[in-house]
Amino acid sequence: MEWLIEEMLSEVEEVKEELRPNNQAFLEDELGDILWGWLMLVQKLKSKGYVSSHEAILQRTLQKYAQRINALKGDENDAKRWAEVKAKQKTALAAERKHSNQ
């Protein structure tokens, strides 16, 4: 599994190299490699019982950023709001982990 993570990091570097105008095909190809690596990593984690599914990860991510974005009002306090929501989410994650370990 470690090799897969290293490979994904390598692909991120390749995305950085391809990030320039008029290079859509190569950039999309490298982004696809990251997506493929993510899919394979989640599958391996799923087979070991570390995560439940790709869908669960996506759902958690959508909820996470919806909460953060919905708190924003477009003013100078947005950074503070973002940090507050993020802190609440970390507390909720810790409580979820504690509950699942009991």
Per run of 10 residues, the mean pLDDT along the chain (length 102 residues) is 94 97 98 97 97 97 97 96 97 94 80
pLDDT score, position 69: 96
**Long-range contacts made by residues 59-68, C-beta under 8 angstroms, separation at least 24?**
64/89
Q: Structure pTM? A: 0.82
Closest to 38 measured CA to CA, from 9, 64, 67, 61: 9
Q: With the CA atoms of 6, 29, 60 and 7 taken in that order, what torsion angle do they form, in degrees rounded to the nearest 10?
A: -10
Give domain limits for the chain.
1-51, 53-102
Residue 101: the pLDDT is 84
Write the DSSP symbol of residue 21: T
Distance (Å, rounded) from C-alpha 58 to C-alpha 49?
17
Residue 84: its pLDDT value, please? Answer: 97
